[in-house]
Chain A
Amino acid sequence: RKEVEQDPGPFNVPEGATVAFNCTYSNSASQSFFWYRQDCRKEPKLLMSVYSSGNEDGRFTAQLNRASQYISLLIRDSKLSDSATYLCVVPNTGGGNKLTFGTGTQLKVEL
């Protein structure tokens, strides 16, 4: 099983739609998680952190299910500007102090 797995998409949705991305992780000891957003040919930028069961920031909601080792990102009322790749990220809890990224899920919001 990969350390972090995501559906690569692309997800093509109309403006105003609600879309959800899923991510599974293999390390049951992981305590915190991140969602990063990456625009085409740009660097990743932190969107949300998830330390407990979930986190909400405006139109964005992240949820964590530790029993199933599953994280989700929900985007409500999608905007054209939400078009990007969304990366699920798990910090390493052992040695190496690294971030482990999923392959990313591509979202395209259309008129």
Chain B
Amino acid sequence: ETGVTQSPTHLIKTRGQQVTLRCSSQSGHNTVSWYQQALGQGPQFIFQYYREEENGRGNFPPRFSGLQFPNYSSELNVNALELDDSALYLCASSPDRFTVYNEQFFGPGTRLTVL
């Protein structure tokens, strides 16, 4: 186990609703990244938080937003849910914001279904 936890495990929402996903990073890690993995695809980078500040963002609309707290845990918020938002949402923590040499440790993910 990586020590990265996510909640909830599964979630079902309807179009237009809002959702909040939570992640607790591994002890000693100050950087959290969020990824979206649609069925049959590789994970896609949403954004990264380093010491409570956004430190990079992928090609996702503004309705995807996030937070990082002083204990380095993080939230992903998605507003105005669309059917295409159905996916596995993965949180990954790393000891530093530089990903070139640092391994990112993934949590088990939250599986979101939008009906």
Contact = CB atoms under 8 A, between A and B. Distances in A.
B99 A91 contact: yes
Contacts of A31: 100
B99 A46 contact: no
A51 B35 CA distance: 24
A95 B100 CA distance: 11
Interface in A87-105: 87, 91-93, 95-104
Nearest to B104: A99
Determine chain A's interface SS by DSSP, over half rule: loop
Contacts of B2: 43, 45
B45 A103 contact: no
Interface magnitude class on chain B? 20 to 34
B18 interface: no
Interface of A: 4, 8, 31-32, 34, 41-46, 49, 51, 87, 91-93, 95-104
Given A4-B42, A41-B111, 20 more contacts: A42-B108, A43-B109, A44-B106, A91-B100, A91-B101, A92-B45, A93-B100, A96-B58, A97-B33, A97-B99, A98-B33, A98-B45, A98-B48, A99-B33, A99-B35, A99-B43, A99-B45, A101-B44, A103-B40, A103-B41
- Nearest 5 interchain pairs by C-beta: A101-B42, A96-B56, A98-B45, A43-B106, A91-B99
